[in-house]
Each structure stands twice: as C-alpha cells, then as structure tokens.
Amino acid sequence: GLDCPLHVSQNDGTLMSADFARRYPVATFASGPTNSMRGAAFLSGIRDGVVIDVGGTTSDIGVLVHGFPREASTAVSVAGVRTNFRMPDVLSLGLGGGSLVRSANGAAAGVTVGPDSVGYELTERALVFGGVELTATDVATAAGMAEIGDASTVDALDETLVGDAVDRMQDMLSTAVEQMKTSADPVPVVIVGGGGVLVRDGLAGASETIRPDHFSVASAIGAAIAQVGAETDRVYSMASMTRDEAMTEARSVTAQRAVDAGADAATVEITDVDEIPLTYLPSNAIRIRVKAVGDLAAGNGASSGGAGT
C-alpha cells in the first residue's frame, strides 16, 4: 500500500488533513462542485466568473472569486436541515446528460427537460445507446452539439422538438447564471463536466462562454491541483490590543495553521480577510476572518488543519 499523508478535498476548494476530516466531516459537503470550480479556474485561467458544472443528473452553478469558490453568505440547507457551517454558494439544477425530455401530447409546445433523469443508466436507456428514453444527451446529439453513441437513432426526431429542448436547456442555465451574479454586468462563464456538451455559446448574462480543454475532468483536476487551506474566525477585543495587532495576529495564526495542515511554508499566502465591527459588544470588539492557502509540502505528515477559531 501507499505510505504517505492523506489529504481530503474540503468545500472551500482547498485540502484538509485526514485527521481534520475525521473530526469535521461536514467540511466535505459540496466539495465535488468546488473541485470543479477550482479545476475550471486552472484550465481556463479565469479567476473571477461563473462556473457551470454539468453532470449526469444535475448542473451545479457557482462563482469564482480570486480563483476560489464564493462562500454562501446565508444559512444553507442540507437535506432540508439548516446548517451553520461554512458552505459554498452553489445553485443546483435538475439538468444533466441523463435528464428526461418530454413534450405535451407529443407536440413541441411545452417541452420540459428534467428534473428526473436516467442517471447512471444513461448508456442503457438513452436513444443513442439503443434505449427508448429521450434524454438531454439525445437532444444534444440530434442538434449537432455532441457526437455520442449512434447518432442515426435520433435522426427521426422532430426538429422543432429538438430546437425547443435546446432552447429550454439554455434558458434554464441562463436564468441560473443571472441568479448567481451580483451585478447586471456580463461575466465570463466556464463550462465543465461530462455534460458540458449540453451548453451552447451565447448564454444570457455571459461576456464569453469558455469550454476549456479537458473540461470533462475538471473536478479531478481541481482536486489534483488543490492547495492546503486554513482559516481563522475569531472575535478580538480592542481593549487589550490595537486593530493592527489583532490583524497581524490573525494573519500569523492562519498562516501557521496552513503549515500545520501540510502546506509548504514558503508558498503560504493570505487570500481573504474580512473585518466585521461588532458594535453590540463592549470594548469595540471586531470579528476577523482570515483565509490562507499554500502548496502541499512534499512528504509532510500533517495531522491537523482546515478551519479554526
């Protein structure tokens, strides 16, 4: 077997030690989409923009800020349970390669795509693979957007139905992009994931649509190139120190946590700093949140790391 430290992807786009993952498994929630976002940033060179990760059953839409996934600013529900943990700001749609396509009474009007899907049975149930279900993959193949399976099996599909289904998929994704943006200005949109062939250029709200080389394996690439991360979130009282002293301490503590988690000290950098005055507390207290990342140190047997207080 392998005799080396084990690190696990966490949901801010960085790595944590296996020991930290055992103590805080919630930090792995939604780490799949964040891996894809980090991979998208690496493959495209885009550090600020929107990422659409299209899989077999869903599309996950997230936002890159300085090359890392944007964190949700409100409470996030997981399986219907409100959480108070750090979570990425990700919007999931029931649109993927296996999504079922239907039309009202067999006509093109009222075309729906998803949210139900054939899932992992795509290669058995989709038309292009000899099945009998009309899926988003079949539509993409019929529209000339992809070369998958036996294209002759979708030659007889109604052109209007195919066109309306493609438009429906585009509308769903364009609406999602607009929901995730924080301004009306167009932003770069990076398409990744195995189902990325479902997305056409020219999404509303996009300044450009980028489908980089190796887009289908962006998630694996994101995990492979991930840096070690650490975070400090602490309230400081200004009665015993100055603001500059508090900021310096928070930065120093966070950088050391990154090193303890397995980062190469020479590569550690502070990537995000938030300062929130707490006027409802005495002594002019402030809450300081600092995030640091660094490249994984070779042969580092770190036993702790990740978020902190």
**Average pLDDT by stretches of 10, the chain with 309 residues:** 83 87 87 93 94 94 92 77 81 93 68 92 94 95 92 92 93 93 92 92 90 94 91 90 93 93 91 88 87 83 51
Q: Dig out the tokens for 278 from the structure.
A: 């707490």
Same domain? 262 vs 215:
no
Same domain? 111 vs 161:
yes
Same domain? 54 vs 195:
yes
Q: Which of 179, 207, 4 is nearest to 90 (CA)?
A: 179
Same domain? 74 vs 108:
no
| Residue 152 structural domain | 99-167
Q: Dig out the tokens for 236 from the structure.
A: 């400081």
Per the domain annotation, does 54 fall within a domain? yes
For residues 295 and 267, is the Cβ–Cβ distance under 8 A? yes
Burial (Cβ within 10 Å: 0-12, 13-18, ≥19) of residue 120: exposed
Q: State how far the alpha carbon of 147 is from the alpha carbons of 125, 137, 151, in Å.
A: 17, 10, 7
User: What is residue 72's DSSP assignment?
Assistant: P
Same domain? 238 vs 280:
yes
Q: Dig out the tokens for 199 from the structure.
A: 């997305």
Same domain? 113 vs 78:
no
* Count of the separate structural domains present in the chain: 3
Per the domain annotation, does 146 fall within a domain? yes
Q: Which of 31, 33, 26, 41 is nearest to 10 (CA)?
A: 31
For residues 62 and 96, is the Cβ–Cβ distance under 8 A? no
Per the domain annotation, does 81 fall within a domain? yes
Same domain? 79 vs 115:
no
Same domain? 42 vs 83:
yes
Same domain? 77 vs 190:
yes
Find the largest Cα–Cα distance for the chain: 77
Per the domain annotation, does 175 fall within a domain? no
User: Looking at residue 109, what is its pLDDT?
Assistant: 53
Same domain? 214 vs 193:
yes
Same domain? 84 vs 118:
no
Per the domain annotation, does 1 fall within a domain? no
CA–CA gap between residue 230 and residue 28 (Å, rounded): 14
User: What is residue 252's DSSP assignment?
Assistant: H
Q: What angle do CA 241, 246, 251 make, to 5 degrees?
A: 155
Helices (H), 114-154: 122-125, 136-142
Q: Dig out the tokens for 240 from the structure.
A: 């015993």
User: Looking at residue 105, what is its pLDDT?
Assistant: 61
Per the domain annotation, does 173 fall within a domain? no
Strands 206-210 and 187-192: parallel
Same domain? 30 vs 81:
yes
For residues 13 and 35, is the Cβ–Cβ distance under 8 A? yes
Per the domain annotation, does 140 fall within a domain? yes
User: What is residue 135's DSSP assignment?
Assistant: B
Per the domain annotation, does 127 fall within a domain? yes
User: Looking at residue 304, what is its pLDDT?
Assistant: 47
Strands 49-54 and 59-65: antiparallel
